[in-house]
Amino acid sequence: MKIQTADPSVEHASAIRCSIIPPYLLRRLARQDEPRFSAAARAAREALVHVRSVQAARAVPAPAVQPGAREVKPGPPNRTVYDAGGSENLPGKLVRKEGEAASGDPSADEAYDGLGHTHRLFADVFGRNSIDGEGLSLDASVHFSKLYDNAFWDGRQMVFGDGDGQVFQRFTGSLSVIGHELAHGVTQYSAGLAYRNQAGAINESISDVFGALVEQYLKQQSVGDASWLIGEGLFTPQVQGAALRSLRAPGTAYDDNVLGKDPQPDSMDSYVRTSADNGGVHINSGIPNRAFYLVAEAVGGYAWEAPGRIWYDALTGGSLPSTATFSVFARTTASSAVELYGSDSAEHDAVRQAWETVKVKL
């Protein structure tokens, strides 16, 4: 599957394409031979072809803004939503621009709203002016390909599939998915983390963290009230599972006869050493995910406040190398906590204790 773009100059974006559905889950679904899941199996095989076509390229660190790059005062979002019409030509037909009334297409309107909610979190809470810090327009294409089982950030815009209808529903239906994918853009324009091994797992975890925070900020949920799920609502009623991943309890998001059991570890004791999925970026992200949740649980209140600020500053402060390991990232978050709240603060203690609990050495 080769994605065609309206502008040949954006072909380089494939090098940093990051998708929400892990390859291991698609492989499991692709092997299904039950007639009731035939469409889902075909859709998974197609999605796997797409993932493999860019997997090697996207292991390269994404182009990042240099540390200390200018970030201007946040302005309003500038959103544009297109309809790919079941094709793979991007961006597609324009269906809704900033300030226009709802289009009547649920996918287009969910995408429009989700872009806005994500922009609002980064602007209101972190003072960031869109994804790149300098007012980047937020573009999205819906109805990509046929029964496409994924959503992705391609380095330039968001792209959403409609799902197969048997296992996955439309991908615009989960706000945490939209926030997750746009957060890959924030990482691209800040630390530029490589998409392989532990750096790649940190990349995925940061997107999970901010995907969860987008949803929590919209609903004004406290740490205790939030679900801490990524992709809640993506599965059809035929699937035994709540979501793709859980930050509160990695490894418990689903347990299904077709999809298998959520394989994420919650500490280094169960770290998965694998060459698949660029070194297990979607699996091992459960470890830093759990660390963030533990910080939020210890601090209490709203997770986008102190915990979110610590993680955001660690990502954007200019000291995080593109090939960071879990230990390097842990030390960076601890340093951010000290700079923001002091070495004797409850926030710093919570960060150190969280990483110790998941067995990552600072």
Residue 14 pLDDT: 36
- Residue 224: inside a domain, yes or no? yes
Q: Are 157 and 149 in contact (CB under 8 A)?
A: no
CATH for 301: 1.10.390.10
Please give the DSSP secondary-structure letter assigned to residue 269.
G
Q: Are 347 and 340 in contact (CB under 8 A)?
A: yes
- Residue 52: inside a domain, yes or no? no
Residue that the structure tokens 């790059």 belong to:
69
- Residue 334: inside a domain, yes or no? yes
Q: Pick from 55, 328, 354, 35: which is nearest to 199 by CA? A: 328
| pLDDT per residue as tens digits for the range 210-256 | 999 999 999 999 999 999 999 999 999 999 999 999 999 999 999 99
282 classed as catalytic: yes
pLDDT at 81 over 90: yes
| pLDDT per residue as tens digits for the range 5-49 | 444 333 333 345 788 999 999 999 999 888 888 999 999 999 988
Enter the pTM of the model: 0.92
- Percent of the chain clearing pLDDT 70 (strictly above): 89
Peptide bond into 22 cis (omega under 30): no
Residue 16 pLDDT: 57
Work out how many domains the chain is built from and give that number: 1
| pLDDT per residue as tens digits for the range 247-294 | 999 999 999 999 999 999 999 999 999 999 999 999 999 999 999 999
Out of 117, 180, 282, 348, the active site residue is: 282
- Residue 144: inside a domain, yes or no? no
Long-range (24+ apart) CB contacts under 8 A made by 334-339 are 334/362, 336/309, 336/310, 336/311, 337/310, 339/313
| pLDDT per residue as tens digits for the range 144-156 | 999 999 999 999 9
pLDDT at 67 over 80: no
Residue 33 pLDDT: 87
Residue 184 pLDDT: 96
- Residue 300: inside a domain, yes or no? yes
Cα 127 to chain centroid, rounded: 20
Q: Are 20 and 171 in contact (CB under 8 A)?
A: yes
pLDDT classification of 170: cutoffs 50, 70, 90:
very high
3-state secondary structure of 147: coil
Tokens of 237: 């009623």
117 classed as catalytic: no
Out of 46, 88, 110, 181, the active site residue is: 181
Residue 239 pLDDT: 95
- Residue 184: inside a domain, yes or no? no
Q: Pick from 225, 215, 237: which is nearest to 167 by CA? A: 237
Cα–Cα distance, 13 to 250 (Å, whole number): 30
3-state secondary structure of 168: strand
- The whole domain housing 347 covers 197-357
Cα–Cα distance, 254 to 209 (Å, whole number): 19
What is the 3-state composition of the chain as percent helix, strand, coil, each rounded to the nearest 5?
45, 10, 45
Mean pLDDT of the chain: 91
pLDDT at 52 over 70: no
Q: Are 214 and 175 in contact (CB under 8 A)?
A: yes
- Picking from 60-69, 94-103, 206-215, 232-241, which range would have the lowest pLDDT averaged per residue? 60-69
299 CB contacts (<8 Å, ≥6 apart)?
Answer: 223, 305, 306, 307, 346, 347, 350
Cα–Cα distance, 93 to 90 (Å, whole number): 9
Residue that the structure tokens 């994924």 belong to:
150
- H helical segments located in 84-188: 106-126, 175-188
Q: Which amino acid is at 13?
A: A
pLDDT classification of 205: cutoffs 50, 70, 90:
very high
Mean pLDDT value across residues 199-218: 98
Strands 158-160 and 138-142: parallel
Residue 53 pLDDT: 56
- Residue 173: inside a domain, yes or no? no
- Residue 326: inside a domain, yes or no? yes
Tokens of 278: 């660029």
